[in-house]
Chain A
Amino acid sequence: MSAWIIVAKVATALNVALLLGLGYIWGRNYLTFRSKHTLGLLVFALFLVLENGLVLYYYLIDPALSAWWHDESLVPMIVWQTQMAINVAQTVGLSFLLWITLD
């Protein structure tokens, strides 16, 4: 398996973990403050978790789609590289958000 695709999978799994961390903090704050602002943050985390969960599902589990991500000959390298860039960019952004949120 190409390094690009390993990085893409790891980054997606990290995104889920980061979002669960953010969702936990925002969920707790929502219970305290009950404001639309904390609710907005919580909904943001929820839908981004859904997005990353779906991506992880088709990378790893889906019977038809996951095969692509195990066999280098099925998907051109450029697709893997782009996919990796999308996932990693999100990991960097979410890491920064978690960093200021834990402050």
Chain B
Amino acid sequence: MEAALWYVLTGTRGGTNRVRILNALDEQPRNANQLAESLELDYKTIRHHLDVLLENDILTKSGDDYGAIYLPTDRTRRHWETVERIIEKVE
């Protein structure tokens, strides 16, 4: 998983914003609207990043589609040291 984590977060154009999303969700699970608001990003941009993070099993969601709350998966938690090292660089 660690290689995918590195690539999705630091190898791609959208990596920096995905790191900010992950950091925000670590503080507190939120839905897409709340994320867009707190990170001052376009709702569609947030949705796109959330989909990429879901697809790579970095995030999981609970609840129905519209108001679904997003949070890091157990797998991501197990590699949280790596994530933290990446987050540090973005702040």
Q: Which of A33, A34, A38, A101 contacts B13 (CB 8 A)?
A: A101
Q: How far is the CB of B62 from chain A (nearest CB, A)?
A: 25
Q: Are B16 and A35 in contact (CB under 8 A)?
A: no
Interface residues of A in 51-76 (CB under 8 A from B): none
Give residues in A with beta carbon < 8 Å to B: 25-26, 29, 32-35, 37-38, 41, 100-103
Query: What's the Cα separation between A103 and B11 when bound, in Å?
Result: 10
Q: Are B12 and A33 in contact (CB under 8 A)?
A: no
Report how many residues on chain B are interfacial, defined by Cβ distance under 8 Å.
Answer: 14
Query: What's the Cα separation between A38 and B19 when bound, in Å?
Result: 15
Q: Which of B10, B14, B52 contacts A33 (CB 8 A)?
A: B10
Q: Are B12 and A25 in contact (CB under 8 A)?
A: yes
Q: Chain A CB within 10 Å — which of B12, B13, B16 has the most?
A: B13
Q: How far is the CB of B89 from chain A (nearest CB, A)?
A: 5
Q: Are A29 and B10 in contact (CB under 8 A)?
A: yes
Query: What's the Cα separation between A35 and B11 when bound, in Å?
Result: 10
Q: Which of A34, A37, A103 contacts B6 (CB 8 A)?
A: A37
Query: What's the Cα separation between A38 and B11 when bound, in Å?
Result: 6
Q: How far is the CB of B44 from chain A (nearest CB, A)?
A: 14
Given A33-B89, A103-B52, CB of A41 within 8 Å of CB of B11: yes
